[in-house]
Each structure stands twice: as C-alpha cells, then as structure tokens.
Structure 1
C-alpha cells in the first residue's frame, strides 16, 4: 500500500500577525538565507501576493520570481 502525502503549505496556516511574526522569527533564527526567502514567500502568499506586489510597485510575476528559489531579492 502506498501512502500519499499532500504538500504542506505554510501560507494556509499563517492566519494572523502573531502567526506570521512567530514563523518569521523562527526562520530567521535558523540563519539560512534560502529558508528566509522561502518564508517571506509564504508570508507574501498568506497576505495576498497581488496586493503586496501593487503596494511595492512590482508586478505579481516579478514578486513571485524574486521570491523563488532561483530569485535574487535585494533588501535595502
């Protein structure tokens, strides 16, 4: 018998500001930049990627690309 698993999506479980803050704090404490980028992507999806892109004056696609594992976001 084969067991099937669903991919866990953190964004679906980040329902309030406390969840987001705790998640980001735990990820940053790990010290892994790639993990931090992945967490920021999860948070952006949880908070509405399209609205975030508009607020940042980026395209939605550009924001997804920056937050992808192959992306290279800059922090100023």
Structure 2
C-alpha cells in the first residue's frame, strides 16, 4: 500500500484580513527574511495571485518569484502587496530582555 502525502497549503486556511495580519506579524517578529517573504506569499495566494497582480501592477510571475521562501522582494513590492491586501506595516520599539 502506497501512502500519498500532499504538501500543506496554509493559504487555504487564511480566510480573513485578521488571519493575514496574524501570519505576517508572526513572520516579521522572527526577523527571518525567507519566512517573511514566504508568509507574504501565502497571504497573497489566499487572496488570489491574479487579482493581486492586477491590483499591484506586478506580474503573477514576479509575485511568485519575490514572495517565495527564496525570494527577495523589493521594498516597493512589499508595500504594493501589503497595501493591496488591506494591511499596513508598523514599527514598534524592541522589547529589551533583562537578565
């Protein structure tokens, strides 16, 4: 008996803007560029890459490439995508750990 395993697709489980914001916030907190790009790609996929491409003026191929774990999106791409998703990036002071 062969067991078939499918890749998990988190984009199928992100239904709301709040879900999108939570995933992206988690990624930003890690400071891991690959995870941030991939999380943004997952959110973009849940929204629909074709629709997002139309809204941002970027091609579907460019979005797929930039928003993958190995992608390196420009700040312009990030800002266009975040805006089209109805999200905003925010800065806050780092929490200082006391020993």
TM value normalised by structure 2: 0.66
Shift of 1:3: 5.8
Any idea what the Cα deviations from partners look like across 1:35-63, whole Å, max 9, x if unmatched?
00000100000011101111111111121
Question: For residues 4 and 10 of structure 1, do their structure 2 counterparts lie closer, same or farther at Cα, with a shift above 3 Å needed?
Answer: same
Query: Which segments of 5 or more consecutive residues in structure 2 lack a partner in the other structure?
Result: 77-99
Root-mean-square deviation (Å): 1.8
Instruction: Tell me which residue corresponds to 1:65.
Output: 65
- Per mean C-alpha deviation after superposition, the further-off stretch among 2-11 and 55-64 is 2-11
Q: Count residues in correspondence.
A: 76
Q: Which residue of 2 aligns with 1:24?
A: 24
TM-score, normalisation: structure 1: 0.83
- Distance in 1 of aligned mates of 2:63 and 2:42: 12
Structure 1 unaligned residues grouped into runs of 5+ = none
